[in-house]
Amino acid sequence: MENFILYEEIGKGSKTVVYKGRRKGTINFVAILCTDKCKRAEITNWVRLTHDIRHKNIVTFYEWYETSNHLWLVVELCTGKEFSINQMYSMTISQFDSMGAATQAG
C-alpha cells in the first residue's frame, strides 16, 4: 500500500471502509477498500470472480494487497450525478459484511 495515497473516507460498512485514493506518481483516482483479514475467504472469492470482468455497469477490480491487519482492494472510482459514492460501493461493502455474518452464523 506504500504506492498509494489515501484521501477521504467515502463509504463505510461494519468491517469495510472505502477511501478515495490514487497511485503515487499518477493523477488517476481509485477507490480503495480496506477490510478486516477475517474476510480473507470472501475477498479471495470476490477477486477470483471479478478479476477478468470488464463491463460498463460493473466496478472494475484492479489489484489487492495484504498488510499485517487488513486486506486492501483497489477498484474503479465511480463518480457521477445518478448515484452517491456510498450507493456505488454499498453493494460491495454489503457483500463483504453479510458474508462475514453468514460465515459466523453457519
Longest dimension (CA), the chain: 45
List Cβ neighbours of 60 (8 Å cut-off, separation of 6 or more).
53, 54, 75, 76
d(CA 31, CA 23) in angstroms, rounded, equals 11
d(CA 42, CA 103) in angstroms, rounded, equals 9
Please tell me the predicted confidence (pLDDT) of residue 73. Answer: 92
Domains and CATH numbers, the chain: 4-105 (3.30.200.20)
- The pTM (predicted TM-score) of the whole model is 0.73
- pLDDT, one tens digit per residue, over 51-82 is 888 888 778 889 999 999 999 999 999 876 54
